Amino acid sequence: MTIIDGKLTAQQLRAEIAAEVAEMVAAGQAAPHLVAILVGNNGASMTYVANKEKMCGECGFRSTVLRMPEETTEEQLLAEVERLNNDPEVDGFIVQLPLPKHIDEQRVIEAISPRKDVDGFTPINVGAMVLGLECFVPATPAGILELLKRYNVPTAGKKCAVIGRSNIVGRPMSILLSQKGWDATVTLCHSRTANLAETVAEADIVIAALGIPGFVKANMVKEGATVIDVGITRVEADNARGWKVVGDVDYAEVAPKCSYITPVPGGVGPMTIISLMKNTLLAAKRRK
């Protein structure tokens, strides 16, 4: 059994990105600039944005966080998005989700210029991804593909079960793995899937992205399977911060059966942030 080390892989990628940025800057170009809009005081969102900001620094990027109060109106947020769309100093930006309930998330996402949509959430980017065209691939699926590639996990002709059909992870993951180059046979499982456990138990690759701690048990996993755990649920814990992050896979039970498995934390999580950096670098290279 091989533990896929997302932390180490992300460090390697960070070094590769930082080297490329150093070359850009030495050639007289401006360093990539990522902006994050953070509306309100959601604790998890504040942590994610702080981590993204830190990683920008480590990659040699410029980064800006625009903090807007919880009471921000949809119109005010849309005005900020429009300003960033037109700001030549900004290569890419993200609007951290979830947004406060009074704001229509989809309307905000659709206002983002696809050229600066480094999350890959706009309909134009999603459509381009589905068609296999040049696009920004959403960060979590991109990070998972990078792990599969760097660990030489075979995907061609393999059965893959993706659990969870979110727009951010499960659905794009299922589409990407079925495309040429990855060539897996994918089943996208969700809350209405009949015989989910049996379907997952037939898979060579299991990608758990449903957000239910410990959902995937040993009896749902084939001997020798590769298991990718995307879960990041905060649960109460007896430590100084009072919480810890747990995955969707019952790791202790499942790991002994696997060829490859990602831990939580230290698996997919670090790869998500670094993939956002890769997209921002790509946006900077495409700037006019």
Give the active site residues: 52, 96, 119
Let me know: does 267 contact 6? Beta carbons within 8 Å: yes
Of the ranges 23-31, 93-101, 151-159, 170-178, which one interacts with ligand GUN (CB under 6 A)? 93-101
The correct pick among 46, 68, 97, 201 for binding ligand GUN (CB under 6 A) is 97
Query: How many residues interact with ligand GUN (rule CB under 6 A)?
Result: 7
DSSP state of 29: P
Spatial strand order of the sheet with 92-95 comes to 62-68, 33-39, 92-95
Chain centroid offset of residue 95 CA:
14
DSSP class per residue in 177-235: HHSTTT--EEEEE-TT-TTHHHHHHT-SEEEE-S--TT-B-GGGS-TT-EEEE---EEE
Least distance between ligand GUN and beta carbon 280 (Å): 12
Host H or E run for residue 189: strand 185-189
Let me know: does 47 contact 272? Beta carbons within 8 Å: no
Of the ranges 78-86, 88-96, 125-133, 215-223, which one interacts with ligand GUN (CB under 6 A)? 88-96
The correct pick among 119, 146, 229, 250 for binding ligand GUN (CB under 6 A) is 119
Least distance between ligand GUN and beta carbon 35 (Å): 11
Of the ranges 2-10, 92-100, 123-131, 191-199, which one interacts with ligand GUN (CB under 6 A)? 92-100
Residue 10 sits at the vertex; the CA angle it makes with 285 and 90, to the nearest 5 degrees, is 30
Q: Site residues for ligand GUN, window 165-194 (CB under 6 A)?
A: 168
CA distance 168 to 140: 7
Backbone angles phi, psi at 168, to 5 degrees: -85, -35
Closer CB to ligand GUN, 139 or 246, in the complex: 139
Tell me if 80 contacts ligand GUN by CB under 6 A: no
Provide the mask over 141-170, with x wherever binding to ligand GUN is found by CB under 6 A and - wherever it is not: ---------------------------x--
- 194, burial (CB in 10 Å: exposed 0-12, middle 13-18, buried 19+): exposed
Let me know: does 188 contact 170? Beta carbons within 8 Å: yes
Tell me if 139 contacts ligand GUN by CB under 6 A: yes
The correct pick among 96, 122, 174, 226 for binding ligand GUN (CB under 6 A) is 96
Q: Site residues for ligand GUN, window 1-60 (CB under 6 A)?
A: none
The correct pick among 4, 35, 95, 261 for binding ligand GUN (CB under 6 A) is 95
Of the ranges 5-13, 89-97, 212-220, 259-267, which one interacts with ligand GUN (CB under 6 A)? 89-97
Closer CB to ligand GUN, 141 or 220, in the complex: 141
Host H or E run for residue 175: helix 170-178
Using CB positions, name the residue nearest to ligand GUN. 97
The correct pick among 94, 142, 189, 220 for binding ligand GUN (CB under 6 A) is 94
CA distance 87 to 14: 26
Q: What is the Cα gyration radius of the chain? A: 19
Closer CB to ligand GUN, 160 or 168, in the complex: 168
The count of other CB atoms within 10 Å of the CB of residue 86 is 10
Chain centroid offset of residue 110 CA:
19
Footprint on this chain of ligand GUN (rule: CB under 6 A): 94-97, 119, 139, 168
